[in-house]
Structures are given as C-alpha cells and as structure tokens.
Chain A
Amino acid sequence: MARYGMALDYKNCINCRACESACKQENSILLNKDHYRIWVGVKEIEGEWPNLSIASSVFHPSQCQHCDNAPCQLVCPTNATYYDQNGVVRVNPEQCILCTYCINACPYDARYVDDRTTTVDKCNFCADTRIARGESTTACQATCPTKVRIFGDLDDPNSEISQVLSKREYKQVKESLGTKPKLFYLI
C-alpha cells in the first residue's frame, strides 16, 4: 500500500522526449500517430525575431495526473477505470467498452484509444511493468537526462518526493477543478 505521486522539476526539461521514447518501449505502446501516454507541452514563441520572449518558451512535461478525485473514474460506466491499492488510476482492458466518456471527462487530455488493447489507455506509472517487477522508478523518470521526475510514495514522510514537497514550492495543474492531481510541478 502506497500513494504514488510524481514531482516534476519541470525547469530542467529540455524537451528531448527521452521520457516519451522510454515509455513507449517499456509499455509496448504502438508506434501509431497520437498513441502516447506522456508528452512535453510547448507553445508557440512570442515576439518577432530577434526580439523573442524567452519566458514564453516553456517546456511542460505532462501525463495522467493520477487525480485522487479523477473525473475519468467518475464517468466510467463499467468501472473499467479504477484506483489500484497504490492510488494509481488504472484501466481494466477487460471492462473497457470504448465509450470514451473518460476521454471527454479528463481535463488534462491524458487519454487515447489504444488500437492494440482496444482500451482507452493512459499512463499508469508503469504499475504493470516496472513497478510490478519491483523497480522503484517509472521508465520516464529513470531515463530522463536532466532528471525532471521524482516518483514515490506520498504517504511515506521519508520518501524523497515527500521531502521535496515539504521543502519546495510547487504548483498543480487545474487544481481548481477539485481533481486533486498527484503530479506536482516544482517551482
């Protein structure tokens, strides 16, 4: 029993997409267009060359926020979406009927239809791959060149993620929706 979350030192992100590449390889994601569990958000830069706003060019690594109060779970008519014993929002392929209510409900745009498992898939913190094998890191965390991610147990006060969150300021995405996301962006 744990309550898994992830802290992201997002200022480290260089948008190299090693995380996306490792995620695909680890979790056997089909190499189809629009099949990805994680991504790096970018915006069009502001200004005109050579007067450009550096501040407008932010790399925002993202994935399922593993909400404690997940809208996707609330709307799922077959309970295919569930919280596992570690608080990870998971999808049971046996029960998913591809109604895609979850895709519409997710405020983070974290879900997609996987053509391999015909499931509305999403990040599961490598629960059925690395964590199931006894690893302590997700694929995206382990591979990251600049070490953006810290994955760990939020209920364990001695875990590195708990320590970091107790010491550093952070923000959460669309917190006001009441989703209680478990991704924390360190400032």
Chain B
Amino acid sequence: MKVEVSRRRFLQGSVALTIAGGYAMSPSEIFASAKAKASAAGETGVKKVATLCEMCVNKCAAFAYVENGIVTKLDPNPYFPKSRNMLCPRGNAGVQALYDPDRLKYPLIRDGEKGSGKFKRVSWEEAYKYIGDKLAKILDEEEDNRSTVAFCAGEGMGEHTFKNFFTGFGSSHFLNHASLCLATTVSGYALTIGGYGQADLENADYVVMAGANRAEAIVTPDTMDFFKRTMGRGAKLVVVDPRFTHTAAKSDKWLGIKVGTDLAFVLALTYVAIKEEIYNKEFVANSFNNFEEYKNHILDNEYTPEWAEKITGIPASEIYAVAREFMAHAPRSIYYQGRRTTWSKNDFQLRRAQAIFSALGGGVDVKGGIVFGGNIPLIGHDVPGPIYDQAKSRIDKDEAAVVGGSGTWVGFRNMVLEGRAPYPIRALFNYKHNPMSNMPNSQKTAEFLKKLDLVVTIDTMPSDTVMLSDVVLPECTYLERTDPVKAFGGIEPAVVQRNKVVEPLFETKPVIEIMKGLSETVSKQLFEITKKYDEEVQAAIEEDGEESVYEDFDLTKAFHETQEELNHHAVSKYEGAADILHEKGVFYPDMDKYFKKVGVNDYVYYPENKKYYSVRNGKFNTPSGKIECKIDSLTTRGIDAMPAWKDEDYKVIPDGKFNFITGRHAQFTQSGSSNNKLLLNLVPTNYAWINKRVAVERGIKFGDLIEVTSKVGKTTIRAYPTEKIGKDTLFFIHGFGNASQELSLAHNNGGNDANILEDIIEPMHGASCLHETIVEIRKV
C-alpha cells in the first residue's frame, strides 16, 4: 500500500505546485475539508474559544465562534488591557486567512529549477529525511561548522519555539525583522533613557508623532487610547511627516517635513529648549548625565530653528512653537518613539536625539510620559544549548558597530553574495518570514536564496520566498494552534495565551510539532558529524561514554512536552491561571477583583493606584543610572557620542526624480496579508502617491499605470495623484506586487517596494535604511 502511494506520487512527477500541492481547491472544498476534520473530532454546535490575533504583531485578544467545526466569526475579547476590546479590519479578516484556498497544505520538496515553482508533494517523514541528509552532507563538508546553516524568523509567538531548535543546532546565525524594522529606535531609546518604554497616550497632554502613523499602522493600546483624546479633547498632537496621513488628519498641527531630515528638526527643538531654558531643570539636574556637554554641543553647533528650516522645510516659527508648547505641557509631553523606523543612515542618532529631547521635559517614568511599566514573571523552561567546538562566529559581526543576536539581515545577505564571508553559508531555515518581500533589493535576495544548497521554509502561504525554497513545511494558521503563553508588561500588565480554535486543516502542523518531528529525524544523524570533527566531543565521549554526551546534544529534548504542558508549567505559580487562560485567554493577578465593565464600550483593567506608571525610583536602566547625553564607548566603533548633524545627511533629489518612501495602512500587514480576500475587498491594490501638480505636468491621472525605477530595479503600479505628498516624494504601501503565482489574488497585484528599494544600511546596527532610495517614474 505504502509503495503504491509513493508510486502514484512519483507518476505525478514534475508538475507545477498548483497540481502537486492541490492548489486548485475551491473555497467550498476547503469548507468540506474543514467540516470533515470537525466531524472527525466530534465537534458539533457552537463554541467560543479565546485566541490571540496573528494578523499583525500586536496580539489582540479575540474570541472565535465555531459553528459545527467552522470558524464563522472573530469578536474582540474584552479581557486584555493591551488590546482594549477591539479587532481591527485585519483581525476581523483572520477567518479568511484560515480558509484561504491558496494555503500551503502539504510538505513539498522542490522538483525543478529553483524558482520554477515546481514542487512535489511528500510526506512529513520524507521531508524531514531529505532535510537531515542535506544537512549531514553540508555539515560533513564544512567539518561541523554549524554556523554554515543560518536561521531566520518573522515576528510571532512561535519564534520562541523555532529558536529553541536553532539553539540546539548551534549555529551563530539568527536573523530576524529587527534590522529591517526598529533596531535603531529600540537601542536609541534604551541606551539613552534605559528602555524603549511605552508612550502613555492615555494621559499625555502633548505628543509629537514624527513619521509614526498610529491611525493607520495600528499599535495597541496606543491607537485606541490616543484618538479618543485628540481634536481638542485633552491631547494635542503634532504630526511631522512627509505625507498627510490619517494620523495627520487627527492632528492639531501637521508639518510636512523633507524626507530624512528629522534629526535636524529634533536638534533645533533641543536648541530652543536649552537656549530659552524652558526644559525641566530639576529633572535634568537630578537625572541627566553629561548635560553640560550636550548643552554646549547643541549651542556651539548653532542648531537653530532658522538653520533647521533650510534643511527640513519646516518654518522656524513652527519649530519654536512646538518646542515651547512641548515644554509647557511637560512632563506630560512625549516625542513618540515610533516603530518601523530605520529611514536614513542617521537613524540611531535621530532616536537618541528624540529620547534626550523628550527627557528634557521630564516625561520619563511618569504618568503621561514614556513609562516602563510592570511585568508578570513566568516560569521558563530549559532547552539544551550544546557547545559545538567547530561552530564559527557570526560572519556579519563587523558589518556595523553593534551587531546583536538578530544580525544585520541586509549586511549578512550581501556578504554572502559578494563572497566576503570568511566561510561558506550553505543553508537557511526560514520560519514565518518572507525576505523576498521584506528586504530591500529583492533581486539580490533571489540570488542569495538560489545560491544556498538548502532553504527550508515553514509558512502558511506560498510567499515569494516559499517559491525560492527547497523544502516547504506547511504550518497551520494561528487559529489552529496553541502558542507559548506570553506576559505583556506595561502600565497594565497581563498574561495571554493563544488557544487552538480548530484542528489544523490538511497536513499542516504547528511549529512546535514540526520542530519536534524534524529533531527526532535529524538529531542523531547530525551528532554523528559532530563526533567526527569535534575534538572536545571526542574527548568527552572517551571520558563519559557516548550516551551521556549525546544527552547534551539531543535536539529532541526541547520538544518533549506539548505546548499545553509548557504553558501550564509557565504559569504554575499563579493559582488557577492556566484554566483562566484557557477560558478567557487573559490572566493577571487580581483580575477577578479589578476587571470591570463600566460602559457599553468601556472596561477598567486596573484601579488607578495599581497601574505601573513610575517604577524606576529615579534610577534609569542605563550605565550611569541617568539619562545618557553622551555615550563615549560608541566612539571607538565610529559612532558619535552625541547626536550631530553631518554634511552627508544633506540629500539632493535630482530634478524630475523622487525620494521614495514606504509605509503601511490599517487594512494590510505587509506581505503576510496580501492574499486576504476580505482585506482586498476593502482595498483592492496599492497606489503610488504622487503630487497632484506634478501628475498634471506629466499627464498622469488617477489609476494610470506608472513604472517606478531605481538604481536596483523597477515595479509597476497605479497612480494616485494627491496633495497629501510633496513634489519630490513618491510613496506606496509595502507588501503588494507579489511574484508568487500561487497567491491567486496577490500575484502581480500592485507595486512591490522590495524590487526598487536600495539595500543601504546604517552604521550602528546595520539596519536597512528604507527612505534613501531615489526613483524615476514613467507612464506606461
């Protein structure tokens, strides 16, 4: 019987993924499969399951309604203080992610040229064995240098589980979204005020959002807290952005800034605060380190509003006004940190300057300012972290001043491509991550993926990266799995758990089961290679015997317990927490006492006096315990100790060309939701924003197709002429224009920014600068 099945698969031969993976399936067939699964599991009637959304990174709490085994609706779950009883449009569209007919359904192995889209369906065991054999061959050739295999992951609750495999495997290379997203902001604030913190937008009186777009790029609870209070209802909002965003529409003042000049704006605000001595003198005296030097630096360099006006395009009078109003409202004033932030090469210094300016008002670790909040500690579990003597250190460690545990993705990729790596990088494990779409210069990413001997991708959808993989392991969607329980710190901390709503469809599995299955197949096989090359291991075996030494190298150890068991253990010090998390999805100490419904839309999570606003007692989490104006230790690595404007920060946009910028809106989360039927019904495609007057000059009308070309590539997109953008700037939403033909709705839909973005990295963390690309356009 088994032979026959294999033969039938063999006869199907090299057919396109469409056939091999059963992609031609209609939605009704998907529902039929779902019903079959449900009846097998004996599910009838209606049930309500507490889950957590995974349509973006916020992890809002939801209840899923399941009727006869089919998820029919997702509703907001009011218990989670962070998500405040809401689901955004993407959250509501989670059902479509579950029942998307284009989903990855079975394990696949490439069966044609890389990128040809040809795969054959295999069993899980076949896939694991294929990976094991390939890894064994590579590691044998590389003499057990585990770092020849790299691991990358997208943001998500399963990243932790995937990382446990990485830790056991022993590679130095982990790469994730940080260097494509917020690495500079997180470290800019952390090294300056001792943490990225949380902007207390429920209580701030004055907020500057520069580049951040909380009305469209929703962040919880910031978005929900803040826009109830804007427009003359408690909080003043200044938006500084080259585009007039939905956030700008809610502002008291919008300042259209020239792209990449924010640092000059912040330095000039600082100048006004210092020169006019309107900063919080008591706070500065008690809590600033090296203030005098910073003060002299700002004044001596004459970072005046008049100077900044020439660079930023923002009138000096507006800069004076913002600085004065900010300090007048301080300490309940915030220069908002922002999220996806690496725009220009000076981004780290920009974030440092923001943090220092914000702190000059004293709005750190106080209500209405940037706060650090409380936490609810969970019990961890041990995973083996064996040491492999032959594993070499990161190849990208010198690509920037500080390359942390998540690497510089672009730097890493480019080193491999340019042959600058000190040893070969031969394989990549990729979890829930789509480098083809999320990394600038997709041509290079394609070349990089093609160059590797083995690319294993674990995902739910046939993304552009899946199409360039050698082995595809289909994960189930978030509604089909229980994920690691997680504590969210903050003003109102809580523990949350994503509970499995329905059984996984098709042959998909949660990542924990995938890693368990893979470990069971490859662990011993790979240890044999270690035995062959690792002298430390050889010596240890001689001394203690192989069985005892293997214990430390046993990759399966991290996956002995189920996710449910791990979660139960993690919260075991809180009585009843595991059951509450199962039922309500949310737990925090005294929740039963504190949680109250106080209106049709309103809930209280913590009494005011139990909220965690001030937690530092005047000692910040920095080396000096104070706000760091000057970080001398960075200078040895070529990074300025204090934020300064450099001549190279000036950028000239040649006549007739545009500075390209990218971003998000509320209906899509990057490429991960680009094939979602409900969301595409709301917004069918992305459009290129081009200034209306420029469009008229060039004869471009709404909906006209234009070709956007940069130094590295081109893309085609429809035009949206508008006055919401300046004459020398072009913008479109990230995540569209997917190349994968297996995404039936997203394929070739709109423009792809990864094709045109130049792969420029900044010097601090090697984070990718997303607003440095100059483009030309042509009507087609």
A residues adjacent to B (C-beta < 8 A): 9, 11-12, 14-18, 20-22, 24-26, 31-32, 45, 47-50, 52, 54, 57-59, 136-137, 141-147, 149-152, 160-161
Residue with the highest number of chain A CB atoms closer than 10 Å, among B87, B224, B251, B722: B87
Tell which of B92, B600, B723 touches A18, judged by Cβ atoms closer than 8 Å. Answer: B92
Asked whether any CB of chain A lies closer than 8 Å to the CB of B681, the reply is yes
* Chain A residues within an 8 Å CB radius of B231: 11
- How many Å from the CB of A131 to the closest CB on chain B? 14
> What chain A residues lie within 8 Å of B693 (beta carbons)?
48
| Cα–Cα, bound, A123→B256 (Å) | 39
CB neighbours (8 Å) of A149 from chain B are 601
Query: CB < 8 Å: which of B223, B251, B601 contacts A54?
Result: B251
- B694 CB to closest chain A CB (Å) equals 10
> With contacts defined as CB atoms under 8 Å apart, how many contacts are there between chain A and chain B in the complex?
139
Shortest C-beta distance, B326 to chain A (Å), equals 19
Pairs of residues from A and B, 7 with the lowest C-beta to C-beta distance, nearest first = A50-B256, A16-B666, A21-B89, A14-B215, A21-B92, A57-B249, A147-B601
Contact status A11-B233, CB under 8 Å: yes
Q: How far, in angstroms, from A180 to B247 measured CA to CA in the complex?
A: 33
Say yes or no: A146 contacts B224, CB within 8 Å.
yes
Residue of B with least CB distance to A46 = B723
Q: Which residues of A contact B682 (CB under 8 A)?
A: 17, 20-21
Which residues of B does A touch, CB under 8 Å?
73-76, 84-93, 95, 215-216, 218, 223-224, 227-228, 230-231, 233, 244, 246-252, 254-256, 313, 599-602, 666-667, 677-679, 681-682, 691, 693, 722-727
Cβ-defined contact, B75 with A143, below 8 A = yes
Given the interface contacts A25-B74, A54-B254, A137-B600, does A14 sit within 8 Å of B227 by beta carbon?
Answer: yes
- Expressed in whole angstroms, the minimum distance between the Cβ of A115 and any Cβ of chain B is 14
| A93, B406: Cα distance in complex, Å | 57
Find chain B residues with CB under 8 A from A143 CB: 75-76, 86-88, 91-92
Label chain B's interface by main secondary structure.
Answer: loop
B74: chain A residues at CB < 8 Å are 25
Residue numbers in A under 8 Å from B255 (CB-CB): 50
Complex contacts, A147 vs chain B, CB 8 Å: 86, 224, 228, 601-602
A25 surroundings in chain B (CB, below 8 A): 73-74, 92-93, 95, 678
Residue of B313, B677, B679, B723 with highest tally of chain A CB at under 10 A: B723
27 interchain pairs (CB within 8 A)? Answer: A12-B227, A15-B215, A16-B246, A18-B88, A20-B89, A22-B89, A24-B681, A26-B73, A45-B722, A49-B244, A49-B691, A52-B244, A52-B254, A52-B724, A54-B254, A57-B249, A59-B246, A142-B75, A143-B86, A143-B88, A143-B91, A147-B86, A147-B224, A147-B602, A150-B600, A160-B600, A161-B600
Residues of B near A58 (CB, < 8 A) are 249
A18-B92, A31-B678, A54-B248 given; 18 more Cβ-contact pairs under 8 Å: A11-B230, A11-B231, A11-B233, A14-B215, A14-B216, A16-B89, A17-B667, A20-B89, A20-B682, A21-B89, A24-B681, A49-B691, A54-B252, A136-B600, A145-B218, A147-B224, A149-B601, A160-B600
Q: How far is the CA of A187 from the CA of B207 in the complex (A)?
A: 23
With A25-B93, A49-B726, A147-B228: A16-B218 Cβ-Cβ less than 8 Å:
yes
> Chain A CB within 10 Å — which of B89, B224, B679 has the most?
B89
Contact of B244 with A17 in the complex, beta carbons under 8 Å: no
- Taking a contact as CB atoms under 8 Å apart, the answer to whether B95 and A12 are in contact is no
Q: Are B73 and A151 in contact (CB under 8 A)?
A: no
A12 touches B228 (CB 8 A): yes
Neighbour of B89 across the interface among A12, A18, A146, CB < 8 A: A18
Q: Are A142 and B76 in contact (CB under 8 A)?
A: yes
Closest-by-CB residue of B relative to A52 is B244
In the complex, the answer to whether B600 meets A52 with C-beta atoms within 8 Å is no
- Identify the closest chain B residue to A16 (Cβ): B666
Q: Which residues of B contact A48 (CB under 8 A)?
A: 693, 723
Which chain B positions have C-beta within 8 A of A47? 723
Chain A residue nearest in CB terms to B213: A14
CA distance A20 to B256 in the complex (A): 30
Question: Closest A-chain residue to B693, C-beta based?
Answer: A48
Complexed CA–CA distance, A151 and B677 (Å): 29
State the CA gap A52–B243 with chains docked (Å).
11
Chain B residues near A11: list those with CB within 8 A.
230-231, 233
Report the Cα distance A54→B256, complex, angstroms: 12
Q: Which of B86, B218, B599 has the most CB of A within 10 A?
A: B86
> In the bound complex, what is the Cα–Cα distance between A150 and B75 (angstroms)?
17
